[in-house]
Each structure stands twice: as structure tokens, then as C-alpha cells.
Amino acid sequence: MENNVTDILIHIVGLGVTDQANLSGEATAALQGAGLVMGSERQLAVVEHLLSDSQTTMVLPAFKQLGNTLETLQREGLPQLVVLASGDPLFYGIGRWFANNFDKGQLRFYPAISSIQAACHQLGLSQQDVDVISLHGRPLFTLRRKLKQQKTLVILTDKNSTPSLLAQECAAAGFDQSTLWVCETLGYPEQKVSEFSVAELLETNQSFDPLHVTVIQTRGIGRVFPEFPGIEDTAFVTDKGSGKGMITKREVRLGILSLLQPAAGDVIWDVGAGCGSVAVELAYWNEKARVCAIEHHAERQSCLEENQQRFGVVDNLELINDRAPACLKDLPTANKVFIGGSDGELPQLLDQVWQQLPEWGVLVASAVMEPTRQQLLQFLQTHQSDAETETLQIAVSKGETLAGQLVYKPNLPVTLFKLTKQSCK
């Protein structure tokens, strides 16, 4: 949103998990001093007794309309307003949207007990020992990246992530011995906390109040989703059968991940992503990095999409069904790039990627065939003056059985090139 609202002071007031507003003195003063109060119908009903007849209320519009609404209110001369939130506005709440779209000087936040805190206190869980996930408005399979051994997950849900569906995901991930708690209408007189096994939720048609939090303690053998970098090749959907096809194999992939050193805030391009093994691992282990996987081949793109869903990397992995280098100008600027395939346009691709990289940006490329290796070697030599360079060759031999005997079958060696951009020396 382009923020043209600069003159309104916005108070964002958390109500807590209760049927009665649980407000501090400062929050109460902000609420009663605002000419307009926005919130859901339920939230407005909770604070109705605290408002005067001169105050106006409004059901909070959807975010797409909220900016225009606020601009209209500013033109009408409204000096300040209150936006109601359920618990802590800045923990999986509406406060994040305001913080991202408005100057901090315009905002005042008033936190209260959140449903996450309330659920942890009901179950005696220390918050530093749990992982909080919001599936509200997100695909159910985004849970998969969090399903690991011995985890306690506190989950904000919607109609597409009911307790029974969460139990199905646990069972499919090999955590069929997990325990799930459903915490309904926390803070209200009808509050209810129920404990279930995975099997019980799979066998029941029980419905739950929409206002609930689900807590999962993962137990079981697991082994479906990775616990550490280096996902098995056979775990990926490919265009040539199990563990084969257009993927970067595990041993080489680990080398690429190590050379790229992905970090929070990175924007990473995987050019010629194939079926997506590198892109998936980059996104899977780095939730706060943004990964763009560029692949124009239709069948490989389909496999890439399946792998994105299989590993639940939807929030931070963007699939680009197009051909590089032409499509790169339309992508967010990358600070790290891996080139795994170039479709015969490697020299032009290297030049274009290098030009857009910022100082200290990283380019990693791989070569199997000798012409590709020579092109990369020439590029590396050309940039000795404005790059830190590194190259290595990975040759892997894998054990197989032949006539009842163990033999090691060599794969073609893969050469990796890394260039870190610097000012000219």
C-alpha cells in the first residue's frame, strides 16, 4: 500500500482472550479518547459499554479497502482512531500490517494476553520451548516444514486447518503417536481444553468452535521430512523417476548450499531450477530468505510445484515459469544467485546476473560438461579484479551391488564456481 495517511494517530488496542475487555489504563484512555473505533463485530461488542454516545464504530474493512478508508477519514479531518485486536497485535496480529505500512510515529500499540499465551498457560508450556505457526489463510501443507522430531507446535488455524486435518498431516509425516490439544474459546466462560491422540482425531467427526488454538507434541518415527540439510534425492518428485531426473544430487547440493551461505533477508535466484532440489532446500531451511526458482520446461516446472507443496515451502519460494535471462529483469533484485542450467545462454546470463548483483553479492554456478566448465572458468578469470573467487570439483562414487558384491559406481564430476562481488581492486 502506498501510504498517503500521515495525519491520523492510530491506536491499536489488544483486548485479550476474554469476553470482557482486559485493558490497561492507557489502553482505556486511548479507546475512550478516539472519535472512531474499528474492529470486528465481536470485538466492538466487547468494548461497547466503554464507549460514549458521541463515538463512532466501524467494522474493520479488509486490508485491500482499509487504505482507501483511512485516506477518506484523513480528508474528513479525523485526528485519531482505535483499531481493536484480539490479543497481542504484534504477534501474528493486525499490528504487523500497520507497522509495515505506517510511520512508527503514527502508531501506538497496547498489547494484551494472546490466545497463544493463554493456550501455553493452560497446558503449562514455556513459550520459549514452543514453535508458533499461523495457518490462518495459509495452505495446510505449510505445516510440513515444521513437523520434526520432539517439537511442540502452537497453531493458529482456520476452517482449512481443523484438528482432524492436522492429525492427518501428523500421520502422513510419520508422527502418528503425537498428542494434540484443542483449546476452544479461551478466556470465555465456555472455555474448553481437550486432549486427543492422532488416531482419535482421525476416527471422530467431532466439530470444534472456530475460535480455537491447536497444540501438537510430535511423537513417532518421523523420517518423512528432513531434520537437517541434505535431503535424500529419492524424496523429490522428478521427471525421470525416483532420485533421478533433473535435480542437483544431494552431495553436490550440500556444496552449493555451503557456498551460498543463505541467510535471513536474502533474495536468491535459482536459475535453471529443474525439479527444484536446490530451491526447495534453500527455502526449507531459511524461512526468512526469499527464493525465486526459474524454470521454463513444463514437466520440470510441474515437478517443482509438487516439491514445493510436498515440503511446505509456499511462503518463501516463488516459482517462475519463464526463460532466463529474459525474465530476470522482472524479478526482485537478488543478492545471491545459483545457476544450475542456462539452456545454451550461459555467457549472456552470467553477464546479466553479475551486473545486477550488489557489492558482496554471491554467484555460484555448476558445470558438468567441459564447454560449460570452460565458459565459467573464463568468466572467473575475467573477474579476478572485482571478485573473490573459489572453485572446486566434486566427484562422487556411490556404492551398488553387482553380482552380490559391493562396488562403487562413479558419477560424472561436477565443478562449482563461486564469485563474491567486490569493488574493483
Q: Model-level pTM?
A: 0.90
State whether 341 and 368 are in the same domain.
yes
Q: Which domain does 166 fall in, by range?
A: 117-217
Q: How much is the CA Rg of the chain, to the nearest whole Å?
A: 26
Mean of the pLDDT values across residues 388-409?
Answer: 94
* pLDDT recorded at residue 133: 96
State whether 256 and 342 are in the same domain.
yes
State whether 184 and 131 are in the same domain.
yes
Q: Is residue 142 part of a domain?
A: yes
Q: Is residue 318 part of a domain?
A: yes
**Which pLDDT band, with edges at 50, 70 and 90, does 425 fall under?**
low
* pLDDT recorded at residue 401: 92
* pLDDT recorded at residue 17: 87
Q: Is residue 222 part of a domain?
A: no
Residue 70: left (phi > 0), alpha (psi -120 to 50), or beta? alpha
Give yes or no for residue 369 having a pLDDT over 70: yes
Q: Is residue 170 part of a domain?
A: yes
State whether 93 and 174 are in the same domain.
no
Letter string b/e over residues 193-204, b meaning 16 or more CB atoms within 10 A of that residue's CB:
beebbbebbeee
SS3 for 283? helix
Mean of the pLDDT values across residues 177-199?
Answer: 96
SS3 for 310? helix
Alpha helices in 268-345 (DSSP H): 277-284, 298-310
State whether 258 and 358 are in the same domain.
yes
| CA gap 282, 248 in Å, rounded | 13
Q: Is residue 75 part of a domain?
A: yes
| CA gap 414, 418 in Å, rounded | 13
Contact 293, 319 (CB under 8 A): yes
Give yes or no for residue 108 having a pLDDT over 60: yes
Give yes or no for residue 2 having a pLDDT over 70: no
State whether 211 and 246 are in the same domain.
no
| CA gap 294, 48 in Å, rounded | 52
Burial class (CB in 10 A: 0-12, 13-18, 19+), 265: exposed
Q: Which grid cell sits at 392?
A: 572446486
State whether 395 and 261 are in the same domain.
yes
State whether 187 and 213 are in the same domain.
yes
Give yes or no for residue 3 having a pLDDT over 80: no
Q: Is residue 1 part of a domain?
A: no
Mean of the pLDDT values across residues 72-84?
Answer: 93
293: domain CATH number is 3.40.50.150
Burial class (CB in 10 A: 0-12, 13-18, 19+), 241: exposed
Number of domains making up the chain: 3
**Where is average pLDDT lowest: 12-21, 269-278, 349-358?**
12-21
Domain end point (choices 217, 249, 267):
217
State whether 161 and 277 are in the same domain.
no
State the pairing for strand pair 80-85/9-14: parallel
State whether 277 and 351 are in the same domain.
yes
**Which residue is listed with cell 478516539?**
34
pLDDT top residue among 22 and 126 = 126
Domain end point (choices 80, 97, 113):
113
> What are the two backbone dihedrals, phi and then psi, of residue 296, each rounded to the nearest 5 degrees?
-100, -15
* pLDDT recorded at residue 244: 83
State whether 320 and 393 are in the same domain.
yes
Domain end point (choices 93, 113, 133):
113
Which CA distances in Å does 294 have to 127, 254, 305, 319, 334?
39, 20, 12, 6, 13
Which residue, 267, 265, 286, is CA-closest to 328?
267
The DSSP-derived string for 372-398 is: HHHHHHHHHHHTSSSEEEEEEEE--EE
pLDDT in tens, 270-312: 999 999 999 999 999 999 999 999 999 999 999 999 999 999 9
Q: Is residue 105 part of a domain?
A: yes
The DSSP-derived string for 29-97 is: HHHHH-SEEEE-HHHHHHHGGGS-TT-EEEEPPPHHHHHHHHHHHHHTT--EEEEEESS-TTSSSTHHH
Cβ-Cβ contacts under 8 Å for 57 (sequence gap 6 or more): 36, 37, 38, 39, 44, 48, 51
Cβ-Cβ contacts under 8 Å for 77 (sequence gap 6 or more): none
Which residue, 165, 167, 161, 162, is CA-closest to 180?
167
| CA gap 29, 118 in Å, rounded | 25
* Sign of the dihedral through C-alpha 419, 420, 421, 425: negative
State whether 28 and 96 are in the same domain.
yes
Give yes or no for residue 424 having a pLDDT over 70: no
**Which pLDDT band, with edges at 50, 70 and 90, does 230 fall under?**
very high
User: What count of residues does the chain have?
Assistant: 425
pLDDT in tens, 166-176: 999 999 999 99
SS3 for 403? coil
54: domain CATH number is 3.40.1010.10
Q: Is residue 334 part of a domain?
A: yes
141: domain CATH number is 3.30.950.10
Neighbours of 15 (CB within 10 A): 26
| CA gap 329, 325 in Å, rounded | 8
Which CA distances in Å does 308 have to 98, 245, 273?
30, 17, 12
